[in-house]
Protein backbone atom coordinates (compact mmCIF):
# COMPACT_ATOMS: atom_id res chain seq x y z
CA UNK A 1 0.00 0.00 0.00
CA UNK A 2 1.23 3.46 -0.92
CA UNK A 3 0.46 7.12 -0.27
CA UNK A 4 -0.37 9.55 -3.07
CA UNK A 5 0.68 13.24 -2.97
CA UNK A 6 -1.08 15.88 -5.10
CA UNK A 7 -0.40 19.48 -6.07
CA UNK A 8 -3.78 20.54 -7.47
CA UNK A 9 -4.04 23.46 -9.88
CA UNK A 10 -6.81 24.88 -12.03
CA UNK A 11 -5.55 23.17 -15.19
CA UNK A 12 -2.98 20.66 -14.05
CA UNK A 13 -2.42 18.34 -11.09
CA UNK A 14 1.06 17.19 -10.11
CA UNK A 15 1.07 13.60 -8.82
CA UNK A 16 3.69 11.91 -6.60
CA UNK A 17 3.67 8.47 -5.02
CA UNK A 18 5.46 6.90 -2.04
CA UNK A 19 7.23 3.55 -2.00
CA UNK A 20 5.34 0.78 -0.13
CA UNK A 21 7.45 1.40 3.01
CA UNK A 22 6.39 5.05 3.01
CA UNK A 23 9.93 6.39 3.14
CA UNK A 24 10.55 8.06 -0.23
CA UNK A 25 8.42 10.04 -2.69
CA UNK A 26 8.79 10.20 -6.46
CA UNK A 27 7.03 12.11 -9.22
CA UNK A 28 4.52 10.04 -11.20
CA UNK A 29 2.84 12.30 -13.75
CA UNK A 30 1.17 15.65 -14.31
CA UNK A 31 -2.54 15.37 -15.18
CA UNK A 32 -3.82 18.08 -17.55
CA UNK A 33 -7.59 18.55 -17.51
CA UNK A 34 -10.43 20.83 -18.50
CA UNK A 35 -13.24 19.12 -16.55
CA UNK A 36 -12.53 18.10 -12.92
CA UNK A 37 -14.25 14.75 -13.59
CA UNK A 38 -11.45 13.86 -16.05
CA UNK A 39 -8.83 14.38 -13.38
CA UNK A 40 -10.83 12.49 -10.76
CA UNK A 41 -11.18 9.52 -13.12
CA UNK A 42 -7.45 9.38 -13.84
CA UNK A 43 -6.64 9.66 -10.13
CA UNK A 44 -9.07 6.85 -9.35
CA UNK A 45 -7.22 4.63 -11.87
CA UNK A 46 -3.88 5.52 -10.29
CA UNK A 47 -5.24 4.67 -6.83
CA UNK A 48 -6.26 1.22 -8.06
CA UNK A 49 -3.05 0.58 -10.04
CA UNK A 50 -0.76 1.48 -7.14
CA UNK A 51 -2.88 0.20 -4.22
CA UNK A 52 -3.10 3.67 -2.70
CA UNK A 53 -4.34 3.76 0.89
CA UNK A 54 -4.28 7.51 1.57
CA UNK A 55 -4.08 10.78 -0.41
CA UNK A 56 -2.28 13.97 0.65
CA UNK A 57 -3.39 17.20 -1.05
CA UNK A 58 -1.28 20.36 -0.94
CA UNK A 59 -3.24 23.28 0.53
CA UNK A 60 -2.12 26.64 -0.92
CA UNK A 61 -3.12 28.81 2.04
CA UNK A 62 -2.11 32.48 1.96
CA UNK A 63 1.14 33.61 3.56
CA UNK A 64 -0.75 34.83 6.66
CA UNK A 65 -2.42 31.41 7.04
CA UNK A 66 -5.85 32.51 5.75
CA UNK A 67 -7.74 30.57 3.07
CA UNK A 68 -8.18 32.20 -0.33
CA UNK A 69 -9.91 30.96 -3.48
CA UNK A 70 -7.00 28.63 -4.37
CA UNK A 71 -7.30 27.00 -0.96
CA UNK A 72 -11.09 26.60 -1.34
CA UNK A 73 -10.55 25.03 -4.75
CA UNK A 74 -8.09 22.54 -3.27
CA UNK A 75 -10.45 21.71 -0.41
CA UNK A 76 -13.40 21.12 -2.73
CA UNK A 77 -11.20 18.97 -4.92
CA UNK A 78 -10.10 16.95 -1.88
CA UNK A 79 -13.73 16.33 -0.92
CA UNK A 80 -14.65 15.16 -4.44
CA UNK A 81 -11.61 12.90 -4.46
CA UNK A 82 -12.57 11.40 -1.13
CA UNK A 83 -16.09 10.64 -2.41
CA UNK A 84 -14.81 9.24 -5.71
CA UNK A 85 -12.14 6.93 -4.25
CA UNK A 86 -13.49 6.18 -0.77
CA UNK A 87 -9.97 6.83 0.55
CA UNK A 88 -8.94 9.11 3.41
CA UNK A 89 -7.73 12.48 2.11
CA UNK A 90 -5.62 14.90 4.18
CA UNK A 91 -4.74 18.51 3.42
CA UNK A 92 -1.15 19.63 4.04
CA UNK A 93 -0.15 23.29 4.29
CA UNK A 94 2.21 23.75 1.35
CA UNK A 95 3.69 27.11 2.36
CA UNK A 96 6.73 25.50 3.87
CA UNK A 97 7.58 23.04 1.12
CA UNK A 98 7.24 25.62 -1.64
CA UNK A 99 9.03 28.27 0.42
CA UNK A 100 12.02 26.01 1.11
CA UNK A 101 12.22 24.95 -2.53
CA UNK A 102 12.14 28.56 -3.71
CA UNK A 103 14.85 29.53 -1.22
CA UNK A 104 17.02 26.59 -2.24
CA UNK A 105 16.70 27.39 -5.96
CA UNK A 106 17.49 31.08 -5.46
CA UNK A 107 20.61 30.10 -3.47
CA UNK A 108 21.52 27.85 -6.42
CA UNK A 109 21.29 30.80 -8.81
CA UNK A 110 18.34 29.34 -10.75
CA UNK A 111 16.39 31.89 -12.86
CA UNK A 112 12.82 32.86 -12.02
CA UNK A 113 11.47 31.21 -15.18
CA UNK A 114 13.30 27.97 -14.48
CA UNK A 115 12.20 28.06 -10.83
CA UNK A 116 8.55 28.07 -11.88
CA UNK A 117 9.08 25.01 -14.08
CA UNK A 118 10.91 23.17 -11.30
CA UNK A 119 8.19 24.02 -8.81
CA UNK A 120 5.50 22.60 -11.10
CA UNK A 121 7.51 19.43 -11.49
CA UNK A 122 8.47 18.96 -7.84
CA UNK A 123 5.60 20.41 -5.78
CA UNK A 124 3.71 17.13 -5.36
CA UNK A 125 6.93 15.29 -4.45
CA UNK A 126 7.86 17.88 -1.82
CA UNK A 127 4.35 17.83 -0.32
CA UNK A 128 4.46 14.05 -0.04
CA UNK A 129 8.02 14.08 1.37
CA UNK A 130 6.91 16.59 3.99
CA UNK A 131 3.99 14.38 4.94
CA UNK A 132 6.23 11.30 5.20
CA UNK A 133 8.68 13.26 7.39
CA UNK A 134 5.82 14.31 9.67
CA UNK A 135 4.54 10.73 9.91
CA UNK A 136 8.00 9.43 10.70
CA UNK A 137 8.34 11.99 13.47
CA UNK A 138 4.93 11.08 14.88
CA UNK A 139 6.23 7.52 15.13
CA UNK A 140 9.15 8.95 17.13
CA UNK A 141 11.74 7.81 14.65
CA UNK A 142 12.79 11.31 13.62
CA UNK A 143 12.99 13.56 16.65
CA UNK A 144 14.66 12.63 19.92
CA UNK A 145 14.59 14.82 22.95
CA UNK A 146 18.14 15.18 24.11
CA UNK A 147 17.26 16.95 27.27
CA UNK B 1 12.47 34.13 22.47
CA UNK B 2 13.83 32.34 19.41
CA UNK B 3 14.91 28.90 18.28
CA UNK B 4 18.40 28.19 16.95
CA UNK B 5 19.08 25.65 14.18
CA UNK B 6 22.53 24.10 13.66
CA UNK B 7 24.20 22.04 10.95
CA UNK B 8 27.31 20.79 12.77
CA UNK B 9 30.37 19.68 10.80
CA UNK B 10 33.90 18.74 11.78
CA UNK B 11 35.31 22.17 10.89
CA UNK B 12 32.31 24.41 10.40
CA UNK B 13 28.85 24.87 11.94
CA UNK B 14 26.02 26.45 9.97
CA UNK B 15 23.76 28.57 12.19
CA UNK B 16 20.14 29.61 11.53
CA UNK B 17 17.70 31.46 13.77
CA UNK B 18 13.90 31.74 13.89
CA UNK B 19 11.90 34.92 14.26
CA UNK B 20 10.34 35.43 17.70
CA UNK B 21 6.98 34.03 16.47
CA UNK B 22 8.73 30.81 15.40
CA UNK B 23 7.40 30.94 11.86
CA UNK B 24 10.39 31.62 9.61
CA UNK B 25 14.08 30.64 9.66
CA UNK B 26 17.03 32.62 8.33
CA UNK B 27 20.75 31.99 8.06
CA UNK B 28 22.85 33.78 10.68
CA UNK B 29 26.49 32.79 10.21
CA UNK B 30 28.87 29.91 9.66
CA UNK B 31 31.24 29.29 12.58
CA UNK B 32 34.66 27.98 11.57
CA UNK B 33 36.59 26.30 14.40
CA UNK B 34 39.51 24.07 15.24
CA UNK B 35 38.68 23.39 18.91
CA UNK B 36 35.05 22.52 19.78
CA UNK B 37 35.30 24.86 22.80
CA UNK B 38 35.65 27.84 20.40
CA UNK B 39 32.41 26.94 18.66
CA UNK B 40 30.60 26.33 21.95
CA UNK B 41 31.68 29.75 23.21
CA UNK B 42 30.46 31.54 20.08
CA UNK B 43 27.14 29.67 20.20
CA UNK B 44 26.70 30.59 23.84
CA UNK B 45 27.13 34.27 22.90
CA UNK B 46 24.56 33.91 20.11
CA UNK B 47 22.10 32.29 22.53
CA UNK B 48 22.41 35.26 24.89
CA UNK B 49 22.29 37.90 22.12
CA UNK B 50 19.14 36.47 20.53
CA UNK B 51 17.33 35.20 23.65
CA UNK B 52 17.39 31.63 22.35
CA UNK B 53 15.10 29.23 24.22
CA UNK B 54 15.79 25.99 22.36
CA UNK B 55 18.41 24.57 19.98
CA UNK B 56 17.77 22.15 17.09
CA UNK B 57 20.77 20.15 15.85
CA UNK B 58 20.75 18.35 12.48
CA UNK B 59 21.48 14.66 12.91
CA UNK B 60 23.27 13.19 9.85
CA UNK B 61 22.06 9.61 10.25
CA UNK B 62 22.89 7.16 7.47
CA UNK B 63 20.43 6.55 4.64
CA UNK B 64 19.20 3.33 6.29
CA UNK B 65 18.54 5.20 9.55
CA UNK B 66 21.58 3.83 11.44
CA UNK B 67 23.99 6.10 13.32
CA UNK B 68 27.51 6.46 11.95
CA UNK B 69 30.48 8.46 13.21
CA UNK B 70 29.05 11.76 11.89
CA UNK B 71 25.87 11.14 13.84
CA UNK B 72 27.84 10.33 17.02
CA UNK B 73 29.84 13.52 16.57
CA UNK B 74 26.62 15.54 16.27
CA UNK B 75 25.12 13.88 19.35
CA UNK B 76 28.21 14.54 21.45
CA UNK B 77 28.22 18.11 20.26
CA UNK B 78 24.53 18.47 21.20
CA UNK B 79 25.28 17.18 24.71
CA UNK B 80 28.17 19.63 25.19
CA UNK B 81 25.99 22.44 23.94
CA UNK B 82 23.21 21.54 26.34
CA UNK B 83 25.68 21.57 29.27
CA UNK B 84 27.27 24.83 28.16
CA UNK B 85 24.04 26.78 27.59
CA UNK B 86 21.60 25.05 29.94
CA UNK B 87 19.08 25.09 27.08
CA UNK B 88 17.03 22.17 25.76
CA UNK B 89 18.66 20.66 22.65
CA UNK B 90 16.82 18.43 20.19
CA UNK B 91 18.23 16.32 17.37
CA UNK B 92 16.41 16.36 14.03
CA UNK B 93 16.97 13.73 11.35
CA UNK B 94 18.41 15.73 8.45
CA UNK B 95 18.02 13.09 5.75
CA UNK B 96 14.80 14.60 4.51
CA UNK B 97 15.79 18.23 4.40
CA UNK B 98 19.09 17.57 2.62
CA UNK B 99 17.45 15.02 0.31
CA UNK B 100 14.72 17.44 -0.77
CA UNK B 101 17.21 20.26 -1.27
CA UNK B 102 19.44 18.04 -3.42
CA UNK B 103 16.47 16.90 -5.50
CA UNK B 104 15.27 20.48 -5.96
CA UNK B 105 18.72 21.70 -7.05
CA UNK B 106 19.19 18.83 -9.51
CA UNK B 107 15.78 19.62 -11.02
CA UNK B 108 16.97 23.23 -11.32
CA UNK B 109 20.02 22.11 -13.31
CA UNK B 110 22.50 23.26 -10.62
CA UNK B 111 25.99 21.72 -10.91
CA UNK B 112 27.32 19.31 -8.31
CA UNK B 113 29.97 21.78 -7.16
CA UNK B 114 27.43 24.56 -6.75
CA UNK B 115 25.01 22.19 -5.00
CA UNK B 116 27.61 21.49 -2.32
CA UNK B 117 28.09 25.20 -1.67
CA UNK B 118 24.36 25.81 -1.48
CA UNK B 119 23.90 22.91 0.91
CA UNK B 120 26.57 24.30 3.26
CA UNK B 121 24.84 27.65 3.20
CA UNK B 122 21.27 26.44 3.60
CA UNK B 123 21.45 23.23 5.68
CA UNK B 124 20.91 24.91 9.06
CA UNK B 125 18.01 26.98 7.66
CA UNK B 126 16.30 23.91 6.19
CA UNK B 127 16.74 21.95 9.44
CA UNK B 128 15.16 24.77 11.43
CA UNK B 129 12.34 25.23 8.89
CA UNK B 130 11.59 21.52 9.11
CA UNK B 131 11.46 21.73 12.89
CA UNK B 132 9.15 24.76 12.76
CA UNK B 133 6.87 22.95 10.30
CA UNK B 134 6.73 19.94 12.62
CA UNK B 135 5.91 22.15 15.62
CA UNK B 136 3.18 23.92 13.70
CA UNK B 137 1.65 20.60 12.76
CA UNK B 138 1.79 19.36 16.34
CA UNK B 139 -0.22 22.41 17.28
CA UNK B 140 -2.76 21.32 14.63
CA UNK B 141 -2.35 24.45 12.57
CA UNK B 142 -0.86 22.68 9.55
CA UNK B 143 -2.62 19.37 8.96
CA UNK B 144 -6.36 18.92 8.94
CA UNK B 145 -8.05 15.58 8.60
CA UNK B 146 -10.55 15.93 5.81
CA UNK B 147 -12.08 12.56 6.37
**What is the distance between the alpha carbons of residues B76 and B101, in angstroms, rounded to a whole number?**
26
Q: What is the pLDDT of residue A139?
A: 60
Give every CB contact of residue A133 below 8 A, 6+ residues apart in sequence: A142, B96, B130, B134
Q: Using CB atoms, which residue from A92, A100, A137 is nearest to B126?
A: A100
DSSP string, B65-131: S---HHHHHHHHHHHHHHHHH---EEEEE-HHHHHHHHHHHHHTT--HHHHHHHHHHHHHHHHHHHH
**What is the distance between the alpha carbons of residues B104 and B98, in angstroms, rounded to a whole number?**
10
ipTM score here?
A: 0.71
Computed over every residue of chain A, the mean pLDDT equals: 87
Q: pLDDT tens across B51-68, in order?
A: 999 999 999 887 777 788
Chain B residues with beta carbon closer than 8 angstroms to that of A121:
107
Dihedral through CA B62, CA B67, CA B69, CA B70, nearest 10?
60
Nearest alpha carbon to residue B82 among B1, B147, B4:
B4
> Residue A27's pLDDT band (boundaries 50, 70, 90)?
very high
Q: pLDDT tens across A86-97, in order?
A: 999 999 988 778
Q: Using CB atoms, which residue from B79, B132, B146 is nearest to A90?
A: B146
> Residue A138's pLDDT band (boundaries 50, 70, 90)?
low
User: Vertex B40, ends B36 and B41: CA angle to 5°?
Assistant: 115
Rounded to a whole number, what is the distance in angstroms from the first to the last CA of chain B? Answer: 36
Q: What's this model's pTM, rounded to 2 decimal places?
A: 0.73
| Cβ within 8 Å, pair A114-B137 | no
Give every CB contact of residue B137 below 8 A, 6+ residues apart in sequence: A134, B143
**Residue A15: enclosing H or E segment and its boundaries?**
strand A12-18
Q: pLDDT tens across B27-39, in order?
A: 999 999 999 999 9
Which spans in A86-140 are helix H?
Answer: 95-107, 112-138
In this prediction, residues A125-129 reach a mean pLDDT of: 91
**What is the distance between the alpha carbons of residues B88 and B81, in angstroms, rounded to a whole number?**
9
CB contact, 8 Å: A48 with chain B?
no
User: Do A69 and A75 touch, CB atoms closer than 8 A?
Assistant: no
CB contact, 8 Å: B26 with chain A?
no
Q: pLDDT tens across B67-107, in order?
A: 888 889 899 999 999 999 999 999 998 877 888 888 889 98
* Burial tier of B18 (Cβ tally within 10 Å: 0-12, 13-18, 19+): buried
* Burial tier of B13 (Cβ tally within 10 Å: 0-12, 13-18, 19+): buried
CB contact, 8 Å: A92 with chain B?
yes
| Cβ within 8 Å, pair B90-A145 | yes
Amino acid sequence: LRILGLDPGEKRIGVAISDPLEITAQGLEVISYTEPEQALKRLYEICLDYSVKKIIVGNPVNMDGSRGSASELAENFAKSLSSKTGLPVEMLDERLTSGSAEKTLIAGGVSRKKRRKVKDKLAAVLILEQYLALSETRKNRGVNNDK
